[in-house]
Structure 1
């Protein structure tokens, strides 16, 4: 399963890598709303939440539908600016119909893959938006009703809220991480110019690749969606607070954007969902679990495992082949024998890998 972005005929210079203040701020707001998604940032989330004035915290709760389950597309800019004010000015230039549709789409379980009528002008779309908001809770319903009743007033209120977040915690945080994000974007831009799109895109994440035959970017996600750069371009935004998510703007009418975890020393690369699935399936068989129990204690040959568990050597070999293909075993030679051993580090990471694949 994947999200694909068609870039056929797109010149390399229209693939852009750049940090985004607005993208990073709303990634932070998502962390504050869903700290369980970001265990590595739990300390930051607790400390930041404790510093918020009660009035600001209440306003964030009123607006969190814009970034809790999914972020509204206009909060992840296709053309990042130098400052938060620059990017908010660009948001102000979006027409009400596009702004409202994006804001209300962020409340749904999945973004639309085809253009949808505006909830401001189409009664059926309006009713669907309100029903979706009401199903998610009274705060979401109240926000949707206000937005539909008076878009300019709500848009101004949201902008003031984001400015207040800038003063409360974002300015200091941005000063600490801006150089790191700029360096990450510059390194990938250099790769793009020197070695081409495939190398630059591969450097984003092991979950992002360029299919050069079909001229499309492929992002491992637990959904199947396709969009196109349409000659306009595609933007990659590095993030510190977005990890482990790969957040993608792919809705019709919006420039495709991928916000990705910036490279950080010591952090493992994400595991593709199909590898996680293969490992879970390998461990689902009761015989293979028994073999893993023995292999966790040290290296064993096929013959030793067969004798210990009273199995035939060919049957053990078949099970070992499945476990090895899933990347759960290591091997070493002892004379003419091959010793199999459980890869404890890989097994220990499996729960985290599963969570990361689901959250990605």
Structure 2
């Protein structure tokens, strides 16, 4: 499974690596709303949340559906500005109908890849938005009601909220990560210029792959979808945004008619190997077989030969070999030769990581 981003005929100079304070603020707000997604940032999330003034904390709760489960596309600008104020100015220039439709596109409509009318002008869409907001609780229902009745007032309220976040905690956080993000964007730009898009994408994330003809980017996620670099005919291209706060999420925003934006996590100094979703599935399926589960019990305790496993479990040598091959193909056992004996042993590190690999795969 993967998302596919079509690039057919796109000039390389239309692919841009940049940094965005608004996108990073959106990631930071997501960390505060869903700290379980980001165990490495648990300390920051706890300290920041405990230091928030009650009024700001309450206002963040009112609007958190914009960044909690799925990030609102408004928080991933295709043309990043130099400062948060610059990017908020860009939001102010979006007309009300587009702003409201985009704000509710993922969280309330459920029709992300299909162009739908704005709930400000369409009664059916307005009713759908209200119903789905109500299902998510009274806070979101109230927020949606306010935006439908007074979009200008709520947009001003949102801007003040983001400005207050910058003053309360994000300004300091941005100063800490900005240099790292700028260095990463420069590095990927140099790779793109001198070695090509395939190398730049692989460096950005192992979950990104350019196909052989260089016309499509495959994004390894537990979803399927298709986006085009020419979605906005007036501004064709792709914008890639590095993030510190966003790990492990790999976020593709491609609302209808907008330039696609891909936000990728900057790897830490000790970032573990990233497995594809298919690799994680293969490992889980390999362990799910009852015979292989029993073999793992012996292989976890020490190295064993095929003959020893045959004697222990009363199975034929070809059958044992087939199960060992499945485990080895999934990367769950190691094999070494000692004289004329071939010894197999469970890779405890790989098995121990399977839980976090699965979590990273479904969160990616």
- What TM-score do you get using the length of structure 1 for normalisation? 0.98
Q: Does 1:234 align with 2:238?
A: yes
Secondary structure of residue in 1 paired with 2:107: coil
Q: CA deviation at 1:335?
A: 1.6
How far 1:214 sits from its partner (Å)?
Answer: 6.3
Report the CA distance between 1:212 and its aligned residue: 3.4
Q: Which residue number in structure 2 is paired with residue 18 of structure 1? A: 18
Tell me the residue number matched to 1:196.
196
Select 1:347's aligned residue among 351, 357, 362. Answer: 351
330, 333, 336: which one aligns with 1:332: 336
**Hey, what's the Cα distance between the residues in 2 that align with 1:80 and 1:270?**
28
Q: String of CA shifts for 1:224-283, please: whole Å, max 9, x gaps.
A: 110101161101111111011111102212211111111221111321111111000000
Could you list the runs of 4 or more consecutive aligned residues of structure 1 that deviate by over 2 angstroms after TM superposition? 108-111
Could you say which residue in structure 2 is the equivalent of 1:264? 268
Q: Distance in 2 between matches of 1:106 and 1:315?
A: 49
Mapping for residues 92-241 of structure 1, pairs under 5 Å: 92-108=92-108, 112-213=112-213, 215-230=215-230, 232-241=236-245
Distance 1:189 1:12 in 2: 11
Q: State the shift of 1:108 in Å.
A: 3.8
Residues 221 and 357, structure 1, Cα contact 8 Å, conserved in 2: yes
**Aligned mates of 1:131, 1:281 — CA distance in 2:** 39
How many residues get paired? Answer: 360
Match of 1:249 among 226, 229, 253: 253
- Give the whole-Å Cα distance in 2 for the aligned partners of 1:64 and 1:339: 53
Q: 1:109 to 1:118 in 2, by over 3 A?
A: closer
1:299 and 1:109 map into 2 onto residues whose CA distance is 54
Q: How far off is 1:4 after superposition?
A: 1.0
Cross-structure match for 1:81:
81
| Inter-partner Cα distance in structure 2 for 1:229 and 1:128 | 30
Counterpart of 2:94 in 1: which secondary structure? coil
SS state of the match for residue 244, structure 1? coil
Query: What are the Cα deviations for residues 70-102 of structure 1, in whole angstroms up to 9, with x where unaligned?
Result: 111111111111110111111111111111011
TM-score by length of 2: 0.97
- Which residue among 293, 306, 321 is the counterpart of 2:297? 293
Stretches of structure 1 lacking an aligned partner (at least 5 in a row): none
* 1:279-308 C-alpha deviation (Å, 9 max, x unpaired): 000000111011111111121111111111
Paired residue for 1:321?
A: 325
Q: 2:2 matched to which residue of 1? A: 2
- Give yes or no for contact 1:17–1:237 (8 Å, CA) kept in 2: yes
- How far apart, in 2, do the equivalents of 1:56 and 1:2 lie? 38
Q: Report the more deviating stretch, 163-172 or 72-81.
A: 72-81
Q: Deviation per CA, 1:4-33, whole angstroms, max 9, x where unpaired?
A: 111111111111111110000110101111
Cα distance, 1:109 vs structure 2: 8.3
Q: Which runs of 5+ in 2 are unaligned?
A: none
SS state of the match for residue 104, structure 2? helix
Does the C-alpha gap of structure 1 residues 312 and 109 become closer, same or farther in structure 2, counting only changes over 3 Å?
Answer: farther
CA distance in 1, matches of 2:36, 2:272: 19
User: CA shift at 1:2, angstroms?
Assistant: 1.1
3-state SS in 1 of match to 2:351: helix
Q: CA deviation at 1:105?
A: 2.0
